[in-house]
Structure 1
Amino acid sequence: MSNAFIEHEKIAETKNATEHAKDTAMSNGALQSLSGGDINVEHVKLNGTSPSDPTNTQSGDEIKEIPQSKEELATSHKTDTITNKTDEVIQESIENVAEENSSEKTDESDKETPRDEWTDLLGSGVIMKKVIIEGKPDSRPERSEKCIVNYTCYLEDETVIESCGNFEVYLGEYDVIQGLDVSLGLMNVGEKCRLKIQPRLAYGSIGLPPKIPSNTTLIYDIELVAVEPEPNADTLSIQERKILGNKKKERGNWWYQRGENNVAVQCYRRALDYLNEVETSTEKGDGGGATDAELQVLLENRVSVCNNMAAAQIKMEAYDQALTSLQTVLTCQPDNVKAHFRKAKVYIGKNDLPVAMRCLMKAKELAPNDADIQKEINHVSRMLERQKQSERELARRMFNGPQQQQQKEAKNTRGVASKKKSKQGSKVGVWATLGAVVAVGVAGLVAYRFKYV
């Protein structure tokens, strides 16, 4: 083999290793941009419009308060953390690729052949990927861009869960399970692949009854058909903004029902990006603008989102943020019963019971027959009574403390004096007794001597 050919092979190996290192770094960058750092395990439903989606059973206007035990909340909030690949792992991957290239030479046609092996996207086996058809190079989607995908979801026994074509996913916005969201960020346009996603980045321990049991691994055959830019709310019509905003709100409601309050808040914030106040009329090609009726509907939707977001923030004990959300609601709708009720919840959490009671009385005035409001009033009344008793006890201790201390000290002083006097008296008695005994003894001795002298 000529020296020139050997030199050419070495250059090719170095190039392949460099390209692999670049792809690995880009993968880690994509994961970092999607999750903002560590990837938290979330449970996301892929198709929000499927019959199995719980959001179809709701009106979409308001979320319901579902009481949960501490154990259930702890379970629903239990998540795992998957860290990004370290430099050592990246270097090891580069060395592995170099070894493979040195032992196996491929031409251009071989590079275009679909890969048969599984690729571990995160290095922990949580997401495994097998490329079926390569996509267009350097065409990966960015965060918040709209991805058009075709997919089929299976269980491991090949049972089909659902299948959908031209499904729209806004990358990194919790529209799909997180494992799928991460994988989409690492796909090129036109790429087809099979994904195997572990429960931690699928539906977790909750599952999606009745179709998906808890702790179930899912298989996806997915194709990234196209990528479109992130929609600009300022250029959308009122109707388009309402549709997108309500979809984000319903997604937030779904997350809230699963106990994922932090994710729900993020969805609600994204909904507000589309539903926020329109300062100028939205012009269309035909010259038409937003009507007062359309703006009123947009306002009502925005108020509903803020109210729901406050409920999630209260669950997170983010009371100041919840007050801000509720103030937005009450500014637009001063007689909103749920806002007054949730405001009372905030002040209960902040232990400001008098203000909480005023909020509850306002809510009762607006809805006199509401059983939940009356129950909360009774609860706060008991808390206020206990608080007053504690305050009275504290005041009693503060004012009576010095007097009681003086009385205690005087009592102790008298006790000491009495003990001292008693001790002195006992000593005199001992000496008197001893003297009497001695005197009797001396008298007896004298009498004896005179008797026998």
Structure 2
Amino acid sequence: MAEDKIEPGNTQAEFIKNELNFDVDPEDPLTKASLEDHPENEWIDILGNGQLKKKVLKAGKANTRPSRGDICKAKITGKLENGTIVEQEEEVTFQLGDVEVVQGLDLAVALMDIGEEAEVEVASRFAYGTLGEKDKIPSGVTVWYTVELKDVEYEPEIESLAVNQRKEMGNKKRERGNWWIRRDEPTLAIQCYRRALDFLSPSKSGTLGEDAVQEPESDAEMQALLEDRLTVYNNLAAAQLKTQAYEAALKSVENVLGCQPQNIKALFRKGKILHLKGEHLKAYETLLHAQKLVPQNKAIQQELSVIKIKTVKDADKEKNLYRKMLGTKKENADAKGEEKKDRKIKTTTIAWSIIGGTIAAAVGVIAYKLIS
């Protein structure tokens, strides 16, 4: 197959748009940063808003930038404006695009070549935000990173991984999702949990791919994988609940309850979801079942007391509605009766008027004959 070449005078953006049929906006700051080379010691404004900047300190091997999903290994040092080191990793491994590092680094590393060393300035919004991080990173601060991209490996085929590898990668993503939940970033948490489920699914064929040399999954391995998967579904439901994606959250808890009908977390979240959907009676029944399993659970008791009041109000509303409906029917019936009665009176009046007129005419004729 002939290799595609960029004709002289054409930019990479034009080549991608015209030859590969991808709709690329060459003026978009992130697109520019992705397609252009980055000269050494020159700041690049990646997002075009000053909140994420990158400067090459040492060039790497050309045309070796990682793609989304690739496994990146990097040396990272993060400092505050006063020079205080707040992060230091001799070698951190993360999957690009899965927000396993702060968003600013996730975007910046995608623009680095293997062997490249760069300085990355990450504003608070794309670093640790208003929450900061424990006692080491204050609220709302910019972090300056020195990053060396050591190596990049292609995204692994999940089917080719052994069960213990899938468990390790899946649970790493689950833990990262938990980290984002604690930071009140449910959308990013959902992204992590969905990726975790990809790795914690059993292989399609019961083995690990056509070319795999590992033994087929044992019952114990399958059970362990299933339990981890159900934990992720429970966490996913909690994150979806925060984004008000109630139908999706309900589906997630049903995936848990389908395998573990007495899972307390799943029952509680299902009750909460149904409550927020306005299905108070179903929510009450679900939480009542959960309370029977753990009678002393205060969270369940509190939720039940709230829903009980709402269920009573719903019942009162229905009664009032029925009363109104019955009252309206009676009023309609009475109105129809009155109308029928009026029609009868009018009909009788008209009939007597006709009879009276006929008699008067007859008397007139007789009187005329007598006079004549």
- Among 238, 243, 255, the residue aligned to 1:311: 238
> Judging changes above 3 Å, is the alpha-carbon distance between structure 1 residues 85 and 157 closer, same or farther for their aligned structure 2 residues?
farther
1:346 and 2:336 correspond: no
Identify the residue that residue 157 of structure 1 maps to in structure 2. Answer: 82
Looking at structure 2, the residues matched to 196 and 287 of structure 1 have their Cα atoms a distance apart, in angstroms, of 44
Identify the residue that residue 58 of structure 2 maps to in structure 1. Answer: 133
State the 1:209 CA deviation: 2.9
Asked if the contact 2:208/2:214 (under 8 Å) is kept, the reply is no
Looking at structure 2, the residues matched to 89 and 292 of structure 1 have their Cα atoms a distance apart, in angstroms, of 51
SS at match of 2:320: helix
- Among 304, 308, 311, the residue aligned to 1:384: 311
> Judging changes above 3 Å, is the alpha-carbon distance between structure 1 residues 381 and 25 closer, same or farther for their aligned structure 2 residues?
farther
1:365 and 2:292 correspond: yes
Identify the residue that residue 334 of structure 1 maps to in structure 2. Answer: 261
Asked if the contact 1:85/1:122 (under 8 Å) is kept, the reply is no
Identify the residue that residue 268 of structure 1 maps to in structure 2. Answer: 193
Asked if the contact 1:127/1:197 (under 8 Å) is kept, the reply is yes
> Judging changes above 3 Å, is the alpha-carbon distance between structure 1 residues 135 and 374 closer, same or farther for their aligned structure 2 residues?
same
> Judging changes above 3 Å, is the alpha-carbon distance between structure 1 residues 399 and 196 closer, same or farther for their aligned structure 2 residues?
same
Asked if the contact 2:160/2:212 (under 8 Å) is kept, the reply is no
In structure 2, runs of 5+ residues without a counterpart are: 1-7, 17-21, 339-372
Specify the code of the residue in structure 2 equivalent to 1:134: A
State the 1:208 CA deviation: 1.4
Asked if the contact 2:79/2:144 (under 8 Å) is kept, the reply is yes
Structure having the higher Rg? 1
Q: 1:23-172 maps to which residues of 2 (within 5 A)?
A: 87=27, 115-172=40-97
Asked if the contact 1:150/1:166 (under 8 Å) is kept, the reply is yes
Identify the residue that residue 22 of structure 1 maps to in structure 2. Answer: 12
> Judging changes above 3 Å, is the alpha-carbon distance between structure 1 residues 115 and 331 closer, same or farther for their aligned structure 2 residues?
same
SS at match of 1:132: strand
Q: 1:389-408 maps to which residues of 2 (within 5 A)?
A: 389-401=316-328
SS at match of 2:258: helix
Asked if the contact 1:85/1:123 (under 8 Å) is kept, the reply is no
- Higher share of residues assigned helix: 1
1:239 and 2:164 correspond: yes
1:280 and 2:270 correspond: no
Specify the code of the residue in structure 1 equivalent to 2:306: H
Specify the code of the residue in structure 2 equivalent to 1:172: G
Q: CA RMSD in A?
A: 3.2
Looking at structure 2, the residues matched to 364 and 89 of structure 1 have their Cα atoms a distance apart, in angstroms, of 54
Looking at structure 1, the residues matched to 214 and 187 of structure 2 have their Cα atoms a distance apart, in angstroms, of 41
State the 1:115 CA deviation: 2.6
Looking at structure 1, the residues matched to 164 and 81 of structure 2 have their Cα atoms a distance apart, in angstroms, of 41
**Count of paired positions:** 319
Looking at structure 2, the residues matched to 89 and 298 of structure 1 have their Cα atoms a distance apart, in angstroms, of 42
Identical-residue share of aligned pairs (%): 38
Identify the residue that residue 200 of structure 1 maps to in structure 2. Answer: 125
Looking at structure 1, the residues matched to 260 and 128 of structure 2 have their Cα atoms a distance apart, in angstroms, of 37
State the 1:331 CA deviation: 1.6
Looking at structure 1, the residues matched to 122 and 67 of structure 2 have their Cα atoms a distance apart, in angstroms, of 21
> Judging changes above 3 Å, is the alpha-carbon distance between structure 1 residues 287 and 321 closer, same or farther for their aligned structure 2 residues?
closer
In structure 1, runs of 5+ residues without a counterpart are: 1-14, 27-32, 38-83, 98-110, 411-453
Asked if the contact 1:268/1:309 (under 8 Å) is kept, the reply is yes
State the 1:394 CA deviation: 2.3
Specify the code of the residue in structure 1 equivalent to 2:206: T
TM-score (norm 2): 0.77
Asked if the contact 2:53/2:122 (under 8 Å) is kept, the reply is yes
Looking at structure 1, the residues matched to 221 and 329 of structure 2 have their Cα atoms a distance apart, in angstroms, of 70
> Judging changes above 3 Å, is the alpha-carbon distance between structure 1 residues 316 and 194 closer, same or farther for their aligned structure 2 residues?
same
> Judging changes above 3 Å, is the alpha-carbon distance between structure 1 residues 353 and 211 closer, same or farther for their aligned structure 2 residues?
same
1:298 and 2:220 correspond: no
Asked if the contact 1:151/1:222 (under 8 Å) is kept, the reply is yes
SS at match of 1:203: coil
Specify the code of the residue in structure 1 equivalent to 2:202: E
Looking at structure 1, the residues matched to 208 and 145 of structure 2 have their Cα atoms a distance apart, in angstroms, of 40
1:227 and 2:152 correspond: yes
Looking at structure 2, the residues matched to 126 and 169 of structure 1 have their Cα atoms a distance apart, in angstroms, of 22
